[in-house]
């Protein structure tokens, strides 16, 4: 990446003092409207961004943190997990008298990067939370280049050099597989989310490892977190695939899709097919039948993400970012494997 543009660079180009440029960039009195316009125009042209250390030293905090979600807004409206995480984030921010700037940008590549650049350039936020990491995620080097304090949701790749709040992924995989093993199941279909997401890759790897230790087999089918796709994939598999007695879906919406498809195909749940959701929610509680699910405490997770970011912004990184155990809520959708 190109070397960061400094206030000194702007001052030299414009023939102004560093103090005048600083006043113009920070909206302070002491410079004319014409000078301020010249400074801001050059700053935009050269892509000048304030460093996080400079903002902290000047006391110019915004009292706002940012979250950019590269998900379909219509899908997010149906997925309780994210609403619960956001609830936890807000609870921590309210206590700290901070606000949340949320942007949903869809799935078009690069739109999220443009938001981070704009936020940094306009000094809109004091830091950001990064969700849904991917391999070689371009957001990580970008926020470091921009000087934006950041916290990752989920275990980071080696070299990320950013703090991460991590779920209990190893324990979650073990809990699900052991529950199904104890019920006599030997073949699992893992209805995963998009394979480009780092947490989906890790989840699948951990499930396969746990199943291998238990003498079980896992087949992965890629979904997109929607009920419609889950129903379609389940129907195809039930009609044409070899006999599998257990399905594990990566979210509650897809788990309900599996149950609905099974009912339509005359496959009894749990008599002939057991279903587990990786996320628990009210949907799982009121399903017909109610769905066995991992309660990963999303409100607490969101709260810890926000607290970790606030600690980074304050210069006192929080050590409480490690995994906390989930709980498997056993309900009527899982039962003994059919003979």
User: Residue 56: which pLDDT band, with cuts at 50, 70 and 90?
Assistant: very low
Q: Count helices and strands (H / E) in the chain.
A: 14, 11
Torsion of CA 110, 298, 200, 181, to 10 degrees: -170
Confirm whether 64-167+299-314 and 169-295 share one CATH topology: yes
pLDDT digits (tens, 9 = 90+) for 66-119: 999 988 777 777 788 888 999 999 999 998 889 999 998 877 778 899 999 888
Give Cβ neighbours of residue 34 (< 8 Å, ≥ 6 apart).
Answer: none
* Architecture, CATH, for domain 169-295: 3-Layer(aba) Sandwich (3.40)
Q: Is the pLDDT of residue 302 over 80?
A: yes
- The pLDDT score that the predictor gives to residue 54 is 52
Per-residue confidence (pLDDT) for residue 41, from 0 to 100 = 85
Q: For the chain, what is the mean pLDDT?
A: 88
Using the predicted structure, report yes or no on whether residue 59 has a pLDDT greater than 60.
Answer: no
| Mean of pLDDT values over 55-59 | 50
Mean pLDDT, to the nearest integer, of 120-145?
A: 90
CA distance 143 to 32: 32
CATH number for the domain running over 64-167+299-314: 3.40.50.2300
Determine the pLDDT at residue 37. 84
Tokens of 203: 């989840």
pLDDT top residue among 109 and 146? 146
Cα–Cα distance for residue pair 225/142, rounded to 1 Å: 28
Which of left, alpha, beta for 215 (phi over 0: left; psi -120 to 50: alpha)? left
Domain ranges of the chain: 7-48, 64-167+299-314, 169-295
Higher pLDDT, 253 or 25: 253
333, 259 Cβ separation under 8 angstroms? yes
More confident residue, 76 or 276: 276
Task: Note the pLDDT of residue 299.
Answer: 94
When pLDDT is averaged across residues 176-192 and rounded to a whole number, the result is 97
Spatial CA neighbour of 96 closest among 307, 321, 305: 307
Decide if pLDDT at 306 tops 50: yes
Work out the pLDDT band at 224, boundaries 50, 70, 90: very high
Instruction: Give the residue with greater pLDDT, 12 vs 4.
Output: 12
Q: What Cα–Cα distance (Å) separates residue 308 from each residue in 102, 153, 231?
A: 18, 10, 38
Residue pair 101/119 in contact (Cβ under 8 Å)? The answer is yes
8 A C-beta contact, residue 310 and residue 128: no
pTM metric for this prediction: 0.80
pLDDT digits (tens, 9 = 90+) for 6-47: 888 888 888 988 888 877 776 666 778 888 888 888 887 887
């Amino acid at each position: 990446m190109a070397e960061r543009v400094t206030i000194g660079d702007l001052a030299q180009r414009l023939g102004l003092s560093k103090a005048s440029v600083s006043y113009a960039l920070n909206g302070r009195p002491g410079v004319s409207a014409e000078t301020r316009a010249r400074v801001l125009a050059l700053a935009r042209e050269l892509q000048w961004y304030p460093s996080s250390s400079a903002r902290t030293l000047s006391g110019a905090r915004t009292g706002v943190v940012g979250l950019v979600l590269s998900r379909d807004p219509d899908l997010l409206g149906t997925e309780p997990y994210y609403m619960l995480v956001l609830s936890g984030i807000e609870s921590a921010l309210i206590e700290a008298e901070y606000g949340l700037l949320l942007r949903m940008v869809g799935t078009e590549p690069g739109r999220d990067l443009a938001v981070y650049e704009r936020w940094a350039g306009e000094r809109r936020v004091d830091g950001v939370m990064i969700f849904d990491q991917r391999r070689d995620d371009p957001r990580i080097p970008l926020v470091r280049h921009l000087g934006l304090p950041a916290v990752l949701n989920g275990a980071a790749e080696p070299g990320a050099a950013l703090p991460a709040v991590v779920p209990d992924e190893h324990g979650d995989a073990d809990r699900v597989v052991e529950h199904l093993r104890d019920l006599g199941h030997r073949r699992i279909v893992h209805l995963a989310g998009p394979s480009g997401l780092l947490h989906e890759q890790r989840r699948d790897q951990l499930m396969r490892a746990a199943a291998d230790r238990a003498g079980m087999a896992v087949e992965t089918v890629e979904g997109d977190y929607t009920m419609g796709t889950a129903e379609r994939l389940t129907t195809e598999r039930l009609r044409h695939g070899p006999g599998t007695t257990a399905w594990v879906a990566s979210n509650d919406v897809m788990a309900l899709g599996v149950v609905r498809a099974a009912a339509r195909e005359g496959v009894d749940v749990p008599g002939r097919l057991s279903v587990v959701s990786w996320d628990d929610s009210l949907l799982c509680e009121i399903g017909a039948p109610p769905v066995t699910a991992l309660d990963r405490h999303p409100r607490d997770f969101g709260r810890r993400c926000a607290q970790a970011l606030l600690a980074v912004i304050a210069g006192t990184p929080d050590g409480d970012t490690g995994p906390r155990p989930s709980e498997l809520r056993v309900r009527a959708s899982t039962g003994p494997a059919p003979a």
